[in-house]
Amino acid sequence: MIPVHLKLKNFLSYREASLDFRGLHTACICGPNGSGKSSLLEAITWALWGQSRAAADDDIINAAAEEVRVDFVFVRDRNTYRAIRSKRRGHTATLDLQVQTAPDRFRTLSGRGIRPTQQRIDAAIGIDYDTFVNSAYLRQGRADEFMLRRPSERKQVLADLLKLDRYEALAERAKDFTRQLKAQVEQLERQANDLSAQLQDRQTIDRESVLNAEQLQELQVAQERDRCQLQMLQAREHQRLALEQRVSWHQQQLTIAERDCQRLGRDRAATQQELARLQQLLTREGDVTAGYRRCLELQREEAALSQRFQAYQGAEQQLLHLQRQQSDRLNKLQLQAQAVATQLTALEARECEVRDVLARSPDVATALADLHAARSHLECLEALHQQAVPLLQRRQHVQADIDRSRARLVARLEQLHATSAQLSTRVAQAPKMRSQAIVVETELKELETKQLYRQRVQEKGQERRNFQERLQESQRNYQKLLAELERKLELLEQQGAVCPLCDRPLDALHKQHVVAKTQAQRQEAQDRFWVLREQLATCERELQVLRGEYKKLSQDLAPFDELLQQRGQLAVRLETTTDVCERLKELTAERAGVEQSLSVGSFAPELHTELAAIDAELAELDYSEEARVLARSDVERQRRAEFEQAKIEDARRQQARIDREKPPLQQESRDLQKAVKQLATDSDLAREIATCQQQLVRLDYDRDRHNNAIAALRESQPWLLRHQQLQQARQQFPLVQDRLEQLTTNLQTRVGETEQLRAELAAATEQLAAAADDRAAIASAECRVRDRRQHLDELLARQGRLDQALAHLDTVSIQHERAQRELSVARRQNRVYRELAQAFGKNGIQACAIETLLPQLEAQTNHILARLTGNQLHVQFLTQKASKGRSKKQPAKTIETLEIRIADARGTRPYETYSGGEGFRINFAIRLALAKLLAQQSGTTLQMLIVDEGFGTQDAEGCDRLIAAIDAIAPDFACILAVTHMPQFKEAFQNRIEVRKTDSGSQLGIFG
């Protein structure tokens, strides 16, 4: 990650600040304590990860503001990104990630919410917050954290930095899986035992099923005999019920006829009354006509008064509208007059301020002369700086190229070592792979045999399913036939049955013959239907057995594809073994050449020659960076004169603008006052208002007269209804006369029909009394059939339970086999997870990772420490030590630890005995080495380094060595930022970012 631009708004002590990192390679962030140096760096971590030193999220907002926002632009893998994070007090933060698509155009990459957007930022940067603060960001007060821990705690600190706690989490998960699998094994063992106990009852259930089937057949024969007798009795009872229904129908028809006669009599009497009422209305025709004419006259008078009322109301509304318009215009003119007066007051106040600024003109002219002299001196020093800077930059680039060449050779050598080890391992695994290939081939042959057998099982199952479908179709056909025969028998049992072939009525002999033949057909169909049901049950059991066998074969064939893939992989790996041997020889020869080049130092000869020439030119050139810095400070201090001169020029322009703007405003104020007076007395609106008032006088509308007319009209309204009733009576009188004649005729006809229904009812009653009643015999027969049907249902239910129990035992058998297989798999997985828990524990992968990392950390630390101390100090890491044995029977044991031994010219001493300056250099070297290794562990390169404070413990020589060390590692980084408040330290950097505390918040300044 390479920083490009940082913009702050209301972040901690900053109100508005912006920092451009372009052109800053090594820079110093300086300023007094509490000015906001560390806050500037924390703004980067808050923008990217939302992390800062604040205890609560609202604490990062400036005390005088309600909202904070940080924009951070950075480059990663040739892509330019911008992260924008903002927050209001009492609200959640918002986050946006953008990527640059054009010089001034960005495209958003944010997800739906803060969490997915944060994940995309981590993916774009390549590291998370913990890795950043432990690698690229050497935070204030954290440099000696690793050294101050006890030896027994340093391994844990190192494990936390390397994020080895994820292996601890994996170990805990493996332990959880082990406990779960142990419980699963116990459960499967209990389940297998229960299933075995259930399978022991199969023979008893088979015997009960055979006995139940025999009883079921005997009951079905007796049941059919009783059903035939019941059907004969039901036929005779059906004929008697038909006679009862006939008698009931005649009774109902007679009741309806009598009711109709009564209704017709009532209707005739009501019609006679209606005819008399109409004759009475027709006799009052004269009075109704006179009242109707009076009501029409009153309606015309009320309409004329309503029209005059509407005209009067419209004139009143227009008058109110005009008065409202006049009031609105007066208010608008008065507001404009007040605004012009306010502008005149503001111009007069600004004119006083401008006169005060113009009074300081002589003092500013003197300060400008001093500024021009200081700039001339600075230009001379800048010319000399321009000659020295290219040489210094070229020297850094040449040294960086030499270091990169060495790093490339070292990386190539490590790659050759790793590749050679991998190839040697592959060559050694060739015999083992051949044995695995033979075993895989044998297993594949066995599975191919099972695959053929499974195909035959599948074909047999398809054949049985087709047979089952044919049986089901036959069963549906017989069900339809039985339904038709039942319907035919019901028709034959009815009185007056006809032949189903010729449609002629059947006598008793032919009817009995047809019924017997139909019952025989039904019995034959019923027997065939039960045979089909038994065949279907047998077919279903066979299919269950085939499905279980097919499922078991499919489970056995599950690893077939995996074995095929494994056989192909083994074949390919065995074919490439020869090529691996040749490649191993080539790598061994190349590795010897690289080791010789590194030991002799014969790489990059042109770069070494160029570096010596640049050093000679720098010695000849006499250049003082301190004098240039002092001259630049003098210029910056006197630049205030330019600001004062700019204020004076601006004041002159403002005075001229005031002179132009003031007279028009005064004239506009006078015009507005005149317009207000004219609108109230002499305007179009005033004249229109007077016209409306005159129109109201001319209309002469009387509201009392209008109300009297309305009351009279309301009193005469009943004559309208009476006139309408008279017209209806004229139309209805002949119709009512015709209706009366029709009702008289209908009543006479209905009386004759009633007498005929009484005679038919008497004849039907005599036939019903002669018919026999078989209801008691039918009830007895139905009781016997019902009881035997209940017994049959119990036997069928028992047979179903027995069949279900047998099917359940088949399922139990399959479950027992599956439980045995699952038990074997669970025991194997339990062993695997128990071994994984040990491997992921502290004595497994974590210990191996630390043991592998410590030699690299030691080498990198000593390389940096040599630059800082002039090869005077050397660090060694020890991971084990022997404890003191108490006696001969109890020898010393090996203790896991992480001791740091520091050697100098006087020998090896503890870290606590070194001075503050030496201790900081040791801490700085270890911390910087850890930063590089952590960046490598995260899979990214460390392009940015931030060192926050810690230089106050160094003397002049120590500061020079630290600066030299930072300059030496500068080519390895794209940007290095050092935070300090020491004046002698900050002058050694090419660029510096000065932070100062003002009344309006912290301010930034960049100086080169």
User: Same domain for 437 and 466?
Assistant: yes
Instruction: Evaluate whether 939 touches 127 at the Cβ level (below 8 Å).
Output: no
pLDDT in tens, 343-392: 878 877 777 887 777 777 777 777 777 778 877 877 777 777 777 777 77
In a domain, 527, yes or no: yes
Q: What is the pLDDT confidence band of residue 575, given thresholds at 50, 70 and 90?
A: low
Looking at residue 139, its pLDDT comes to 64
State the pairing for strand pair 94-102/79-88.
Answer: antiparallel
Give the strand order in the sheet containing 874-882: 874-882, 894-904, 907-909
Q: Give me the mean pLDDT over the 461-478 stretch.
A: 82
Q: Is the pLDDT of residue 887 over 60?
A: no
Ramachandran sector of residue 562 (left: φ over 0; alpha: ψ -120 to 50; beta: rest): alpha
In a domain, 239, yes or no: no
Among 243-247, 472-476, 960-964, the minimum mean pLDDT is found in 960-964
Looking at residue 71, its pLDDT comes to 93
534: exposed, middle or buried (Cβ count in 10 Å: 0-12, 13-18, 19+): exposed
Among 47-56, 399-408, 871-880, 951-960, the minimum mean pLDDT is found in 951-960
Q: Give me the mean pLDDT over the 556-568 stretch.
A: 75
As a whole number of angstroms, the distance between CA 910 and CA 540 comes to: 86
Looking at residue 938, its pLDDT comes to 58
User: Same domain for 355 and 365?
Assistant: no
pLDDT in tens, 778-809: 788 788 878 877 887 787 777 777 777 777 77
In a domain, 481, yes or no: yes
Instruction: Evaluate whether 47 touches 70 at the Cβ level (below 8 Å).
Output: yes
Q: Give me the mean pLDDT over the 244-251 stretch.
A: 80
Q: At what angle do helices 640-681 and 361-428 cross, to 10 degrees?
A: 110
Candidates 537, 611, 614; CA nearest to 806 is 537
Q: What is the pLDDT confidence band of residue 950, given thresholds at 50, 70 and 90?
A: low
Q: Give me the mean pLDDT over the 728-756 stretch.
A: 81
Q: What is the pLDDT confidence band of residue 327, given thresholds at 50, 70 and 90?
A: confident
Domain that holds residue 672: 287-359+645-715
As a whole number of angstroms, the distance between CA 834 and CA 176 comes to: 10
Instruction: Evaluate whether 979 touches 37 at the Cβ level (below 8 Å).
Output: yes
End-to-end CA distance of the chain: 23
As a whole number of angstroms, the distance between CA 237 and CA 772 comes to: 8
User: Same domain for 466 and 539?
Assistant: yes
Q: How many helices (H) and strands (E) does the chain have?
A: 24, 15
As a whole number of angstroms, the distance between CA 386 and CA 603 comes to: 32
User: Same domain for 703 and 679?
Assistant: yes
Among 145-154, 205-214, 252-261, the minimum mean pLDDT is found in 145-154
Ramachandran sector of residue 1006 (left: φ over 0; alpha: ψ -120 to 50; beta: rest): beta
Amino acid at 123: A
Instruction: Evaluate whether 981 touches 33 at the Cβ level (below 8 Å).
Output: yes
CA atoms within 13 A on the CB side of 47: 26
As a whole number of angstroms, the distance between CA 324 and CA 775 comes to: 100
Amino acid at 724: Q
Among 86-90, 482-486, 965-969, the minimum mean pLDDT is found in 965-969
In a domain, 696, yes or no: yes
Instruction: Please provide the DSSP assignment of 514-577 as one string.
Output: HHHHHHHHHHHHHHHHHHHHHHHHHHHHHHHHHHHHHHHHHHHTTTHHHHHHHHHHHHHHHHTH
Residue 264 Cα distances to 250, 267, 348, 744, angstroms: 21, 5, 109, 8
User: Same domain for 437 and 546?
Assistant: yes
Instruction: Please provide the DSSP assignment of 171-187 as one string.
Output: HHHHHHHHHHHHHHHHH
User: What stretch of H or E contains 1005?
Assistant: strand 1001-1007
Give the strand order in the sheet containing 16-20: 16-20, 2-9, 67-76, 79-88, 94-102, 105-108
Instruction: Please provide the DSSP assignment of 771-800 as one string.
Output: S---HHHHHHHHHHHHHHHHHHHHHHHHHH
Instruction: Evaluate whether 840 touches 192 at the Cβ level (below 8 Å).
Output: no
| Residue 256 Cα to chain centre, angstroms | 76
As a whole number of angstroms, the distance between CA 1002 and CA 16 comes to: 8
In a domain, 63, yes or no: no
As a whole number of angstroms, the distance between CA 839 and CA 847 comes to: 10
Looking at residue 953, its pLDDT comes to 55
Q: Give me the mean pLDDT over the 631-653 stretch.
A: 75
Q: What percent of the chain has pLDDT over 70?
A: 85
- Which of 715, 733, 748 terminates a domain? The answer is 715
Name the residue with tokens 């001319």.
698
HEC profile for 950-997?
CHHHCCHHHHHHHHHHHHHHHHHCCEEEEEECCHHHHCCCCEEEEEEE
- Which of 663, 696, 715 terminates a domain? The answer is 715
Looking at residue 49, its pLDDT comes to 87
Looking at residue 571, its pLDDT comes to 67
Instruction: Evaluate whether 38 touches 76 at the Cβ level (below 8 Å).
Output: no
Amino acid at 859: A
Candidates 766, 744, 437; CA nearest to 569 is 437
Candidates 771, 983, 783, 990; CA nearest to 31 is 983
Q: Give me the mean pLDDT over the 160-184 stretch.
A: 76
Ramachandran sector of residue 947 (left: φ over 0; alpha: ψ -120 to 50; beta: rest): beta
Name the residue with tokens 């300081």.
360
Looking at residue 565, its pLDDT comes to 67
In a domain, 788, yes or no: no
As a whole number of angstroms, the distance between CA 315 and CA 413 comes to: 107
User: Same domain for 365 and 355?
Assistant: no
User: Same domain for 697 and 649?
Assistant: yes
Residue 162 Cα distances to 148, 524, 856, angstroms: 18, 88, 14
Residue 1006 Cα distances to 20, 75, 275, 371, 993, angstroms: 9, 21, 118, 20, 5
User: Same domain for 353 and 365?
Assistant: no
Q: Give me the mean pLDDT over the 913-922 stretch.
A: 71
Q: Give me the mean pLDDT over the 501-520 stretch.
A: 68
568: exposed, middle or buried (Cβ count in 10 Å: 0-12, 13-18, 19+): exposed
Looking at residue 366, its pLDDT comes to 78
CA atoms within 13 A on the CB side of 633: 9
- Which of 683, 715, 747 terminates a domain? The answer is 715
Q: Is the pLDDT of residue 538 over 60?
A: yes
Looking at residue 70, its pLDDT comes to 92
Query: For the chain, what's the residue count?
Result: 1008
In a domain, 330, yes or no: yes
As a whole number of angstroms, the distance between CA 758 and CA 765 comes to: 11
Amino acid at 117: T
As a whole number of angstroms, the distance between CA 692 and CA 319 comes to: 6
User: Same domain for 445 and 532?
Assistant: yes
Looking at residue 298, its pLDDT comes to 77
Among 98-112, 152-166, 631-645, 817-831, the minimum mean pLDDT is found in 152-166
Residue 9 φ/ψ, nearest 5 degrees? -145, 110
Average pLDDT of every residue of the chain = 77
CA atoms within 13 A on the CB side of 824: 5
Residue 974 φ/ψ, nearest 5 degrees? -85, -25
Give the Cβ contact number of residue 622 at 10 Å: 7
Q: Is the pLDDT of residue 124 over 60?
A: yes
Q: What is the pLDDT confidence band of residue 69, given thresholds at 50, 70 and 90?
A: very high
Residues 6+ apart with CB under 8 A from 784: 226
CA dihedral 663, 667, 672, 674 (to 10 degrees): 160
| Residue 437 Cα to chain centre, angstroms | 47
Output the six-digit token pair for 226: 């009783």
Output 182-190 pairs: Cβ under 8 A, ≥24 positions apart.
182/830, 184/826, 185/823, 185/826, 185/827, 185/830, 188/819, 188/822, 188/823, 188/826, 189/823
User: Same domain for 354 and 384?
Assistant: no
User: What stretch of H or E contains 640?
Assistant: helix 640-681
Q: Give me the mean pLDDT over the 105-132 stretch.
A: 83
User: Same domain for 485 and 474?
Assistant: yes
Amino acid at 466: N
Q: Is the pLDDT of residue 110 over 80?
A: yes
pTM, rounded to two decimals: 0.38
As a whole number of angstroms, the distance between CA 616 and CA 613 comes to: 5
pLDDT in tens, 389-437: 777 777 777 777 777 777 777 777 777 777 777 777 777 777 777 778 7
Output the six-digit token pair for 1001: 């918040």
Looking at residue 73, its pLDDT comes to 92
In a domain, 400, yes or no: yes
Output the six-digit token pair for 537: 């049950």
Count of structural domains within the chain: 3
- Strand residue runs (E) in 291-389: none
Could you say which DSSP state residue 844 is in? I
As a whole number of angstroms, the distance between CA 186 and CA 827 comes to: 10
Q: Give me the mean pLDDT over the 50-73 stretch.
A: 86
User: Same domain for 334 and 303?
Assistant: yes
As a whole number of angstroms, the distance between CA 440 and CA 585 comes to: 32
Q: Is the pLDDT of residue 503 over 60?
A: no
User: What stretch of H or E contains 388?
Assistant: helix 361-428
Instruction: Evaluate whether 834 touches 244 at the Cβ level (below 8 Å).
Output: no
